[in-house]
Amino acid sequence: MLNFILLDAAPAQGGGGMGSILMIVALFAIFYFFMIRPQQKRQKEIKKFRESLGPDSKIVTAGGIFGTIKEVKDTYFVVEIANGVRIRIDKGSVYPSANDANQAAQNNENTANK
């Protein structure tokens, strides 16, 4: 009985190809503007931050190690994590410290409000 009702309720329709293509294009646009584009912006900001780092900059590594940059090399930083304790950290695993990130956010808000 249920199969009979379902077959009667959904008559066959043709020519829905253009609607399907428009739906796929709309979904792609939504994904681009809400997921892909913001992620690309974040990656550019992180890249700019890493390029601006120099000696005596405070950082946090991806592993949660806080330290101060002492030397900048091509692919890594030499970071001092305690008095006389220095380690090498890959540039890709460095993020701004929480204090620096908060100060940068406040500076961005101040310049946007002016």
- Whether 57 contacts 68, CB under 8 Å: yes
Instruction: Give the 3-state secondary structure of residue 66.
Output: strand
Question: Under a CB-based contact definition with an 8 Å cutoff, are residues 45 and 31 in contact?
Answer: no
- Whichever domain contains 50, its CATH number is 2.30.30.140
Question: Are the beta carbons of 58 and 67 closer than 8 angstroms?
Answer: yes
Per-residue pLDDT tens, the chain, 114 aa: give them.
445 555 454 555 555 678 889 999 999 999 888 888 999 998 888 888 888 888 988 888 888 888 899 999 989 999 999 999 999 999 888 876 666 655 655 665 665 565
Residue 101 within a domain: yes
Residue 82 maps to a domain: yes
Domain hosting residue 29, numbered range = 24-113
44: in domain: yes
Q: Which residues pair with 82 in a beta bridge?
A: 85
Whether residue 69 is contained in a domain is answered as yes
In a domain, 106, yes or no: yes
Q: Evaluate whether residue 67 is within a structural domain.
A: yes
Q: Are strands 94-96 and 85-90 parallel, antiparallel or unpaired?
A: unpaired
Number of domains in the chain: 1
Half-sphere exposure of 10 (CA within 13 A, CB side): 5
Domain contains 15: no
Asked if the structure places residue 8 within a domain, the reply is: no
User: How many angstroms separate the CA atoms of 45 and 62, rounded?
Assistant: 16
What is the reported pTM? 0.54
